[in-house]
Amino acid sequence: MRKYLCWVVPMVLAAGAGVMLRADDAAMPSQEIPKNMLGTPEAIWSLEHYSYIAKDSDAMGIMALEQANELVKPQGPNAQLEFLQKMLYTAKGPAVVRAVHAMLAQVYHQSGQDPKAMEQYQMLISDNP
């Protein structure tokens, strides 16, 4: 019995650790990771998450767009609209352009400019950016 457990227990532990480290089903860290927490599950999740996203230029562009939009958001809807409209002309990749249209539609709607929001939605629906 002891011989059996000697090789089963490490396999079970390894399988459990492997499941914990998968980026697709891991829980997102609740806060930014302090520098003294390197090697923790949160740090490992962040590393896997960003390395996975960095392999896909569209995903990385959309993530950067969302992060930049969050930085501009405190400046008000006009600053957001100006930033997003500029991104329409500089964005690379059709997925990033579609994300810009979706964000523009959301900001237009939130600022009470529903006809302009509808234009953005129509561009997304017709896939004609």
**Domains of the chain with bracketed CATH:** 2-54 (no CATH), 57-126 (1.25.40)
User: How does pLDDT run across 1-37, given as a tens digit for each residue?
Assistant: 455 444 544 554 455 544 444 444 555 555 565 555 5
10-residue mean pLDDT series, the chain (129 residues): 48 48 50 60 78 82 90 92 91 89 94 93 81
Amino acid identity of 91? A
> In the prediction, which pLDDT does 127 show?
73
Q: How far is CA 64 from the centre of its chain?
A: 8
> In the prediction, which pLDDT does 30 show?
54
